[in-house]
Structure formats: structure tokens, C-alpha cells
Structure 1
């Protein structure tokens, strides 16, 4: 039984070393790392990625698949839910670094199965919604920059893309700004703005190239 860590590292996200360090700091002992670099979770489903495809052949019953978060599998609802359910049916345990969530097929109770599947669906839907919101915000930021000219960028955000994504994920799970502040180092006021106006926050990062 092995513990395999899978990372999808985009050019605007965390580095691979950072993701591994974060997992080890959370108490995971990793036997092997599988990573895709520069891959969009929106455009490429897991089975289409060179390294992600290896997981379907590599993982066996009893193995544990560790992810920083479910969005590393993808940003499309169907792709993520299909991949998670496939691995669960194969007897693979899926665990996340953020919030230490566990998804497996150990329960035979239909109510517990329903709760598990509902949580998987919610997280997959959240990943897709965040991706779509970011795309709209980026387009809005580009349009605004063209309208106002290069000199108008507003105040520079106090966070980068990886911190923003982490904050949105944690807030989306119902964590309050105070709790998320301890995880991200951002102020409560900043987190409230991100929570209430995520599109504006993402557009600001786009204007500043963050």
C-alpha cells in the first residue's frame, strides 16, 4: 500500500516543492510524487494529461492518493467527479492536504454514501465555478485596462494567485475570515473583500500581473 501525491502545477499556482512541503507539514508520508506542469485544469481532464493518466494504471486497492485539494484533479465538474468515483471504486483512498478530508469506499451505509457523494459533488462544482469566475474576471480586467489605459491599475493586491485560490477554497467551505486569516496570513478585511467581491479581486490581480 503506497501513498502517492499528485500535483497539477500551473504557471500561476504553487510550485511543486511548495505543494510537497505543505503535504509533509500536514503529516503525510509520501512514497511517490506524480506531477503535471503547465496544465490547465479547465482544458485538460485528468486522463488526458501525460502524468495524470499514469494514476489510472499506477493506483491499486489500498493505496492512498494525496492532493492539495480536489481542484488539482481538474476544474470541470464531470471530470472531477468521474475521476474521484473511479478511484473510490478501485479501492483507492483519496485525502486532501487542505482540511484533511478523506474520500473512500469503505462505508456501505447508503446515508453515509450519499453524504460523501454530495460533498464530492459540491467541491467539484466549486472548483468549476471558481475557474469560470476567474476567467470572467480576467476578461473584465483586460477590458478595463484597455478602457482606462495602462496607467490605471488601482491599488496593488496584498496577495498572489495561489493565496487567493486558497482563500477562496477555504471560504467556500464555510470557514470564517478569522480562521482563513490564520491559514493565509491575510487580514480579515482583505478576506471579506475577497469573499464578497471575488471577481473584482481577481481582476485586480490580472491588472497587476499577479
Structure 2
């Protein structure tokens, strides 16, 4: 059995190394990392990404695919649900670092299958909704930043884009502020700041070109 971490890196401040560190801190023993750099999960399906195609070729029955969150697989509801189901059809177990979700096609219990499939749909829908909300927040943040004195940047954010996205994802998933802060490695005050004023938090990243 091989455990492969798939890391999609879409912005300059995200790194595959950071995603591996998060996975190992959560208790995963990673055998290999496959990473697509500078690839959008909104516009490019996993099967159409250079390393995504390689991932499908590498994985075998009994292997484990680890991702930080289902948004690394994609941001489109249909794409994410089909990708996870295809992995399960191949006998691959999909696990997430955030929330420790496990998607395993081995069960033949109809009730467990129904719960699993409903959860896949919910998480995929949430991933797409988060992408759309983030896009709107980015627009609002940039507009907000442009409306202020360009010479005034304010204090540099104590979080980067990867951490911001992870905070939003975990809060949307119902995690507590304390759990989010511990999982991501930032202070609770920072999580509160992002939670209570997401537009301003996004604007701070825009001002510092993060």
C-alpha cells in the first residue's frame, strides 16, 4: 500500500512542502508527493492537469490518496464527486487532512454507502460554493483596497493565502475557532479577525499582494 499526497498549488504563497507538513502533522506517513503548480481548481479538472493524469496512472487498488481538503481535487461539484467516485471504483481510499474524512468504496452496507455518498456530495458542493464566495470576497477586497490611500498598506497580515483559504474552509465546515487555530498554526485572534470581517481580511492580502 502506497500513500500519495496530491498537492494543488494555485498561488505563489502556497507550497507543496507546506501541504506535506500539514499532512504529516495530522499523522499521515507520506510515501510520495504529486503536485500541480499554478493550476486553478475552478477551470481545470484533475484528469486534465499534468500531474493529475500521472496520479491516475500511479494509484493502485489499496493505495491511499491524501489531500488537504477536497478543494485540492477541484472546485466544481460534478468534477469533484466524479473524481472521488472514480478513485473508489479503482479501490483507492481518499482521505483529507482537514477534518480527517475517509472515502472508501470497500463497504457494501447500503446505509453506509448512502451516508458516504451524501457526504461526498455535500463536501463537493461546499468546495464549489467556497470557491465562488472567495472569488466575490477577492473582488470586494480589491475594490476596498483601491478605495483607500494606496500609500497606506497597514499592518502586514499574519496569515498567507493558503492559511486564509484553510480558515475559511474549516469555518464553513463548522469547526471551532480553537480547532482551526490549532490545525493551521495561527492564533485564535487571527481566526476571529478573518471570521468576523472576511472582506477586510481579503483586502489586507490584496494590499500586500499576497
TM-score normalized with structure 2 length: 0.88
What's the RMSD between the two structures over aligned residues?
A: 2.1
Cα distance in 2 for partners of 1:14, 1:51 equals 17
The Cα of 1:156 is off from its aligned counterpart by 4.0
1:65 to partner: Cα distance? 0.8
What is the CA-CA distance between 1:13 and the residue it aligns to? 4.5
**Partner residue, 1:88:** 88
Pick closer, same or farther for the CA change 1:183–1:27 going to 2, 3 Å: closer
Gaps of 5+ in 1: none
Size of the alignment, in residue pairs?
Answer: 210
Which digits, 9 at most, give the CA deviation of each residue in 1:83-140, with x for residues without a partner?
0011111111011122322111122122211211122122212222222122112222
- Cα 1:64–1:186 change in 2 (3 A) is closer
- Report how far residue 154 of structure 1 moved: 5.1
* Matched position secondary structure for 1:107: coil
Residues 133 and 199 of structure 1 are in contact (CA less than 8 Å); yes or no, is this contact kept in structure 2? no
Unmatched segments (≥5 aa) in structure 2? none
Aligned to 1:130: 130
Q: Equivalent residue for 2:27?
A: 27
Q: Which residue pairs with 2:113 in the alignment?
A: 113
Q: 1:146 and 1:100, CA in 2 relative to 1: closer, same or farther beyond 3 A?
A: closer
**Cα distance change of structure 1 residues 123 and 12 upon mapping to structure 2, 3 Å threshold:** farther
Aligned 8 A contact 1:74 1:80 in 2 = yes
